[in-house]
Each structure stands twice: as C-alpha cells, then as structure tokens.
C-alpha cells in the first residue's frame, strides 16, 4: 500500500493557522501513530511554500531558496504512512509550480498525493482579507477593495485574492491530474461553531484519530475592527513617504502594532459587507457549490457553509471606512504605547528607527 501525502493548500483566512498550530503541537504524538508533519526547524511551511510558488513577497523570495527541495527530501527520507503538509500560500501556485509539487511529492516520491482545500463563505473572506491587507502596507478603503474583488475575473486569477480564494480555479489547478476522490474540500462552519468542528472535518480527511492530537491550539488570526483597520490604513499612507525597510515594517507595524496590540483590543467593531453586496456573494456561493457537485470532489462538511448568512433586516450596517474619530484616536494611543514599550525593551536599530519615524510623522501634524 502506497503511503499518502496530504497537501493542504489553503485557502488563507479559513482556519489554516489554527489547523497548522494544532498539527505542530501534536507532531510527536502524531508521528507515533504514523502521521508525519515535516516542519523541520521551522514552526510552519511558510518558507518552503514561498520557495515553491516563486513570488517576491516583500523581498523575501531570495531568502528561501532551496527550502522546498529540502522539504521534499525530508518527506522522502521518512517512513511514515501518512505525510501532512499545510500552508495557505500554496493555493496561489502557478500551473508549472503545481506540476513541480505533484511530481516531487507524488510520482517522484512514490506516494499517493491528496489535495486538501479549506473554504469559507465569500462574505467573511472579503472582510478578513481586507483587514490583512492593512497589515501589509496597503492603503485601499474597504469600499474600493470590495469593488475590486467584485469586478476581478475569477477564471483568469486576475488578482491574488481570486488566485487563492477562487474555489473552482484553485481545485482545478491543483486537482487537474488527480481523481476526484483525492481532491478534498473542507468547508469552514459559520460563525458560532467551535474550532473543533473544523478540526474534526480535517482529521476525517487525513485519517487522524482525535486521541492522537490531544493538545488544542489557542492560536487564531484575530480580526481587526473598524477603528483599528482605519488607523493602519492612515498609518500606511504616512509611512510610505518615509521609505521604511520592509523588514522593519513587518516587525513594528505588522507584529507589534497590528497582531500583538490592535487585534487584542476590547470592543472591536466587526467589519462586514454592506447588504447591497450579498446578491453578488450569493452568486459566488452558487457557482462554488455547483462546481463542487459537478466535479464530485470529496466534501468534508456541508456545502451550505459556503453560502453567506444575510444580516437581519433590522440590523443597521456600519461602514468600515467611517469609524468614530475618538475610536481611531484610542486605537492610536494603544499602538503608540506598544511601540514605546517595544523600543524600551530592544536595542536593535529597528526600534530606534521606529521611534524616529513616529517623531517625524507627529512633527508633520503639528
């Protein structure tokens, strides 16, 4: 019996962080039961995934050369019956890079390759991805971002968003040479469901018993609120003129300000789509469900999870681009405190540059 390689290719913002963290924390126990999670010296597969998809990614491409081939070697050397590899960047791989992965892990490695793709309804994905954009130097408003997503051509993968979230495109690209029973679609349950639901669905696909992975994960990609996202958008516009090195931006803005501070503030107001956009979202969901049914791929979960839940008629929509000025100011103070504390704890050059940057930006306002 050929061993199996399960390649979880995304999509971003579909619980991938939680799944990967739980696999990582239980990797020793899983290996005792014949399931190998070959992360090597890193906590995840970001570096091999970036190497495979061959994209610039903020100047990081040159730092990951050879990481994919090193991962393939670890997989081929190991004798476990089941291999699990997971990273959301893989969803965006071009066809030629998909062929390389298929050859390296399937035919070339003498294994039975399976593709796993987690997907959630488009209304939640759009809001989550926009907030993520604010943590990566972007300045686009939510209204403009939503407009771009609605007008981009899914079939041609005109934008990275659709290249990773266009369900028919991703699964057609990755599953082109596989029988449908080896292409697995895991649906993310609607809000309110426990993370365990998604975990069990994923485990059912891979063949993991619950007792093999007893350690839960408390790592989730927390969402920003209206005020927090607006603060980052305005900060990005100011920082652009300062030509801050990207590695410094990733540390001070993405990590210290956004992930460690703003994403943990109490009372964050949720970012949601306007009611007028749900007709479009329904059409996207219909196309995804129809494709999955016709393609006869293996579905773990319920395809209705891909259909957006419309807001109640008596619920007033709150524009993500127009938060209260006081809320943005409060978020800015929290961010400033976080930067000051970080600067006081560190003697790295990045800390002093961040302090100088704050002074220059504040000076322009006075």
Q: What is the CATH number of the domain that holds 78?
A: 3.40.50.300
Q: What is the pLDDT of residue 313?
A: 86
Give the neighbor-by-neighbor strand order of the sheet with 298-300: 35-36, 82-86, 4-8, 112-119, 183-187, 298-300
CA atoms of 365 and 345, how far apart (whole Å)? 27
| pLDDT per residue of the chain (366 residues) written in tens, 0 to 9 | 579 999 999 999 999 999 999 999 999 999 999 999 999 888 899 999 999 999 888 778 889 999 999 999 999 999 899 999 999 999 999 999 999 999 999 876 689 999 999 999 999 999 999 999 999 899 999 999 999 899 876 544 347 899 999 999 999 999 999 999 999 999 999 988 899 999 999 999 999 999 999 998 877 778 899 999 999 999 999 998 888 888 899 999 999 999 999 999 999 999 999 999 999 999 999 999 999 999 999 999 999 999 999 998 888 999 999 999 999 999 999 999 999 999 888 755 555 556 666 666 656 555
Q: Are strands 112-119 and 4-8 parallel, antiparallel or unpaired?
A: parallel
Domain of 202, in residue numbers: 4-212
- Residues 149 and 246 placed together within one structural domain of the fold: no
Q: What is the pLDDT of residue 361?
A: 60
With beta carbons less than 8 A apart as the criterion, state whether 196 and 213 touch.
Answer: no
- Residues 171 and 41 placed together within one structural domain of the fold: yes
Closest alpha carbon to 229 in 148, 361, 133: 133
Environment class of residue 346 by beta-carbon count within 10 Å: exposed (0-12), middle (13-18) or buried (19+)? middle
Count of CB atoms situated within 10 Å of the CB of 326? 9
Q: What is the pLDDT of residue 240?
A: 86
- Residues 235 and 111 placed together within one structural domain of the fold: no
- Output DSSP code: residue 82: E
Paired tokens of 138: 């972007």
Q: Is residue 133 part of a domain?
A: yes
Q: Is residue 134 part of a domain?
A: yes
Q: Where are the alpha helices (DSSP H) in the chain?
A: 16-25, 27-32, 46-53, 67-77, 95-102, 122-134, 142-151, 160-165, 167-175, 195-206, 226-240, 246-249, 278-295, 325-345, 349-365
The DSSP code sequence of 222-248 is PPP-HHHHHHHHHHHHHHHTTT--HHH
- Residues 49 and 184 placed together within one structural domain of the fold: yes
- Residues 14 and 37 placed together within one structural domain of the fold: yes
- Residues 265 and 168 placed together within one structural domain of the fold: no
Q: Is residue 282 part of a domain?
A: no
CA atoms of 213 and 36, how far apart (whole Å)? 12
The count of domains in the chain is 2
With beta carbons less than 8 A apart as the criterion, state whether 53 and 97 touch.
Answer: yes
- Residues 206 and 242 placed together within one structural domain of the fold: no
- Residues 100 and 245 placed together within one structural domain of the fold: no
CA atoms of 229 and 130, how far apart (whole Å)? 9
Closest alpha carbon to 172 in 7, 295, 290: 295
Peptide bond into 11 cis (omega under 30): yes
Longest Cα–Cα distance of the chain, Å, equals 71
**Domain stop point among 212, 241, 256:** 212
CA atoms of 364 and 355, how far apart (whole Å)? 15
- Residues 29 and 151 placed together within one structural domain of the fold: yes
CA atoms of 298 and 250, how far apart (whole Å)? 38
Helices 226-240 and 122-134 pack at an angle, to 10 degrees, of: 40
Paired tokens of 198: 């998604």
Specify the pTM.
Answer: 0.89
Q: What is the pLDDT of residue 157?
A: 36
- Residues 52 and 162 placed together within one structural domain of the fold: yes
**Domain stop point among 184, 212, 240:** 212
Q: Is residue 150 part of a domain?
A: yes
- Residues 113 and 245 placed together within one structural domain of the fold: no
Q: What is the pLDDT of residue 357?
A: 60
Q: Is residue 287 part of a domain?
A: no
């Amino acid at each position: 019996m050929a061993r199996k390689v399960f390649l979880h290719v995304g999509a971003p913002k579909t619980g991938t962080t939680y799944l990967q963290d739980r696999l990582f924390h239980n990797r020793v126990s899983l290996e005792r039961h014949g399931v190998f999670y070959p992360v090597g010296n890193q906590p995840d597969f970001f570096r091999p995934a970036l190497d495979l998809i061959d994209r610039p990614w903020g100047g990081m491409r040159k730092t990951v050369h050879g990481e994919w081939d090193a991962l393939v070697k670890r997989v081929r050397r190991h004798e476990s019956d089941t291999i699990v590899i997971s990273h959301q960047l893989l969803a965006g791989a071009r066809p030629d890079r998909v062929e390389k992965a298929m050859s390296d892990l399937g035919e070339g490695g003498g294994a039975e390759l399976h593709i796993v793709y987690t997907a959630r309804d488009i209304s939640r994905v759009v809001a989550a991805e926009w907030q993520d954009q604010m943590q990566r130097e972007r300045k686009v408003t939510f209204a403009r971002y939503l407009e771009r997503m609605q007008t981009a051509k899914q079939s041609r993968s005109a934008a990275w968003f659709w290249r990773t979230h266009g369900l028919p495109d991703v699964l057609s690209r990755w599953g082109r040479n596989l029988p449908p029973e080896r292409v697995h679609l895991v649906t993310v349950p609607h809000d309110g469901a426990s993370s365990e639901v998604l975990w069990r669905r994923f485990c059912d696909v891979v063949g993991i018993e619950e007792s093999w992975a007893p350690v839960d994960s408390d790592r989730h990609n927390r969402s920003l609120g209206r005020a927090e996202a607006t603060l980052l958008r305005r900060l990005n516009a100011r920082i652009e003129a300062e030509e801050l090195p990207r590695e410094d931006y990733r540390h001070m803005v993405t990590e210290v300000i956004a992930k460690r501070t703003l994403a943990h503030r109490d009372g964050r107001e949720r970012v949601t789509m306007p009611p007028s956009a749900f007709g479009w979202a329904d059409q996207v969901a219909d196309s995804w469900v129809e494709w999955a049914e016709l393609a006869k791929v293996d579905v773990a979960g319920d395809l209705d999870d891909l259909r957006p839940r419309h807001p109640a008629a008596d619920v007033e929509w709150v524009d993500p681009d127009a938060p209260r000025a006081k809320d943005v100011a409060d978020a800015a103070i929290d961010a400033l405190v976080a930067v000051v504390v970080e600067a006081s704890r560190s003697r790295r050059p990045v800390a002093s540059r961040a302090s100088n940057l704050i002074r220059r930006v504040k000076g322009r306002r006075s």
